[in-house]
């Protein structure tokens, strides 16, 4: 039985934007006081997990969340723009209410989880998938048999989780959303394609799902 490669997808702590109910996107919003406490608690929780590598979105709120784990493990944080949140373009920095009033069409497309729609000045979920999964597949290949912590954002984690479960392979995609709380952790234990399965731990429940081949693609 080959050793599993474990991927921990970890959402950043509460940001100031989260606290104010604003769209973050690519905005460099820092953590709130509560978010910093959440980051420290997450590091203590993962301290005994034998993490072998730490990766993070290069946005401030994700990097701030990753650093406490880096301190307790002695591992560097590998920052990458590939794990950024989806850019919401003209809605970035706006409160949810202001975005709905000022950009009703873009806001409605976001609520529909329209996978192919490119937000004005921003990205589509398809574009998010392309950049994030390519990087994740590379990381998995480089760290086979290890335990990888990836700090990212709710939209990106949703897309990456669906990718790891093989749910984004169909030619026509239906809107599916996996919500992640601040500093929520989704655990994936991945084995080679011969095994064809992954154990997925989200919260306190474990799911056995079929997955595709674990190689860059």
Q: Which residues are catalytic?
A: 12, 85
- Reported as a single tens digit per residue, the pLDDT across 75-96 is 999 999 999 999 999 999 999 9
State pTM to two decimals.
0.86
Spatial neighbors of 155 by CB under 8 A, at least 6 apart, are 85, 86, 125, 128
DSSP state of 189: E
Task: Give 173 or 168, the one with higher predicted confidence.
Answer: 168
Report the percentage of the chain scoring pLDDT > 70.
83
pLDDT for 171 beyond 60:
yes
- Reported as a single tens digit per residue, the pLDDT across 114-159 is 888 999 999 999 999 999 999 999 999 999 999 999 999 999 999 9
Task: Spell out the CATH class of 5-210.
Answer: alpha beta
Bridge partners (DSSP) of residue 199 are 189, 208
Q: Where are the domains of the chain?
A: 5-210
């Amino acid at each position: 039985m080959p050793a599993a490669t474990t991927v921990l997808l970890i959402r950043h702590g509460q940001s100031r934007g989260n606290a104010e109910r604003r769209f973050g996107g690519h905005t460099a919003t820092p953590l709130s006081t509560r978010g910093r406490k959440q980051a420290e608690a997450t590091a203590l929780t993962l301290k005994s997990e034998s993490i072998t590598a730490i990766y993070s979105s290069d946005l401030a709120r994700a990097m701030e969340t990753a650093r406490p784990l880096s301190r307790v493990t002695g591992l560097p944080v590998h920052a990458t723009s590939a794990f950024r949140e989806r850019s919401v373009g003209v809605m970035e920095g706006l409160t949810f209410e202001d975005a709905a009033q000022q950009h009703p069409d873009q806001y409605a497309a976001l609520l529909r989880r329209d996978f192919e729609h490119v937000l004005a000045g921003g990205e589509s979920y398809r574009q998010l998938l392309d950049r994030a999964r390519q990087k994740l597949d590379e990381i998995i290949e480089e760290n086979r048999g290890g335990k990888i912590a990836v700090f990212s954002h709710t939209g990106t984690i949703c897309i990456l989780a669906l990718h790891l479960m093989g749910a984004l392979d169909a030619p026509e995609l239906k809107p599916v959303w996996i919500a992640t709380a601040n500093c929520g952790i989704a655990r994936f234990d991945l084995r080679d394609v011969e095994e064809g399965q992954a154990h997925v731990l989200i919260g306190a429940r474990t799911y056995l799902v079929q997955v595709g081949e674990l190689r860059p693609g």
